[in-house]
Amino acid sequence: MSIGCRDLRVTAGGRQLVAVPALDIADGETLAILGPNGSGKSTLLRALAHLDNASRSGTVLLDGQLATTPDLRRAVAAVLQRPVLQRASVLDNAAAGLRLRGVGRAEARQRTEPWLDALGVAHLAQRNARTLSGGEAQRVAIARALAVGPRVLLLDEPFTGLDATTRTDLLADLHAALTHLSASVLLVTHDRDEARSLAQRTALLVNGEIRQTGSTAEVFDAPADPDCATLLGFTAHLPPALTGLDTLVVARPERCRPLTNGAPPPPDAVVFEGTVRRAVPLGGATRLDVDTTTGTVSAVTTAIIAARPGDPIRLAIAAEHLRAMSTDVA
């Protein structure tokens, strides 16, 4: 089932938190909403499901038809940032969504067990859910949402607070589970890897407004404006005064190459100079924060370089790694 909205606005305390003229997620599609902290991601997700208490206007659509709150209750399952689990067994917690929809206890348990298995927590079925770790609880919450066979699945930062290994494993398990699901899926996240792993399309949310939407691959390769560029990791912003080009250009810091010992820049590269402000060890790489005449530019390099604060430095970025920002938004 597809979900969408038209002219969806949420205000609270006299402030507009979200304003989305139109958003659509097709049946079988996963759309990521990527945005920084406080950009309105959770507010948008809650408004789509009519889960919010804030003041909302506009319409939510299911399969193109105006959706009422009861329609949404039937169609939507949501996994929120911090799952609430009852003092009961893991199996009964995971079966709770089906029970709420009127399914008998035995059948609900039977239909839930494969999802506990798919999410790698079948061995915990009889445990008291209150004794689970954060990652285990998150898996149970996802199993609970998937078990109801939702036609729309809303995921609000489902990987928050998980260690790197647990997160990678859960990403893989969720990816596998979603491929078997016939639903529209909205994934709210501030993490680029999560969007890239799970979503066919990505929308970028900045200050409550969607600035860019498209296939995940296209969006990640061609940011629409400087805010989108920062969100996508193109954090080196080089204005014309620094490069001599006509427009602001952006690049990923790992594409900024320090030119040490008079090394020649690659052909077509943009080259600029600055002074090392600090070198930040990243473990296996170093981030050099470089003060230029137009601001600080960071470069991330795996080369071993002896750069000390105050040292002059030249940086080069090959033309293929630069993205031009149109002048009207720069």
Ligand X SMILES: Nc1ncnc2c1ncn2[C@@H]1O[C@H](COP(=O)(O)OP(=O)(O)OP(=O)(O)O)[C@@H](O)[C@H]1O
Give the one residue of 14, 37, 180, 303 binding ligand X; rule: CB under 6 A.
37
Residue 51 interacting with ligand X (CB under 6 A): no
Distance CA 172, CA 177 (A): 9
Give the one residue of 1, 26, 51, 54 binding ligand X; rule: CB under 6 A.
54
By C-beta, is 96 or 205 nearer to ligand X?
A: 205
- Give the length of the chain: 330
Smallest separation (angstroms) from ligand X to the CB of 3: 18
By C-beta, is 16 or 260 nearer to ligand X?
A: 16
Tokens 């260690």 sit on residue: 163
Give the one residue of 4, 20, 31, 41 binding ligand X; rule: CB under 6 A.
41
Distance CA 176, CA 301 (A): 34
Residue 202 interacting with ligand X (CB under 6 A): no
Say if CB 204 and CB 212 are below 8 A apart: yes
Smallest separation (angstroms) from ligand X to the CB of 134: 16
Residue 14 interacting with ligand X (CB under 6 A): no
Tokens 């990527």 sit on residue: 34
Task: Identify which of 107, 105, 97 has the alpha carbon closest to the alpha carbon of residue 75.
Answer: 97
Give the one residue of 4, 40, 150, 158 binding ligand X; rule: CB under 6 A.
40
Give the one residue of 21, 38, 104, 295 binding ligand X; rule: CB under 6 A.
38
Phi then psi dihedrals of residue 28, to 5 deg: 85, 0
Helix (H, G, I), strand (E, B) or coil at 126: coil
By C-beta, is 17 or 198 nearer to ligand X?
A: 17
What residues does 289 pair with on adjacent strands? 278, 298
Give the one residue of 56, 167, 190, 255 binding ligand X; rule: CB under 6 A.
190
Name the one range near ligand X by CB under 6 A: 32-40, 120-128, 250-258, 266-274: 32-40
Residue 154 interacting with ligand X (CB under 6 A): no
At residue 186's C-alpha, the angle toward residues 181 and 190, to 5°, is: 130
Smallest separation (angstroms) from ligand X to the CB of 92: 29
Distance CA 202, CA 228 (A): 12
Question: Which residues touch 261 (CB under 8 Å, ≥6 apart)?
Answer: none
Tokens 């009961």 sit on residue: 88
By C-beta, is 38 or 309 nearer to ligand X?
A: 38
Residue 93 interacting with ligand X (CB under 6 A): no
Name the one range near ligand X by CB under 6 A: 35-43, 133-141, 172-180, 285-293: 35-43
Say if CB 11 and CB 17 are below 8 A apart: yes
Summarize as ranges the residues that interact with ligand X (CB under 6 A). 12-13, 17, 35, 37-43, 54, 190
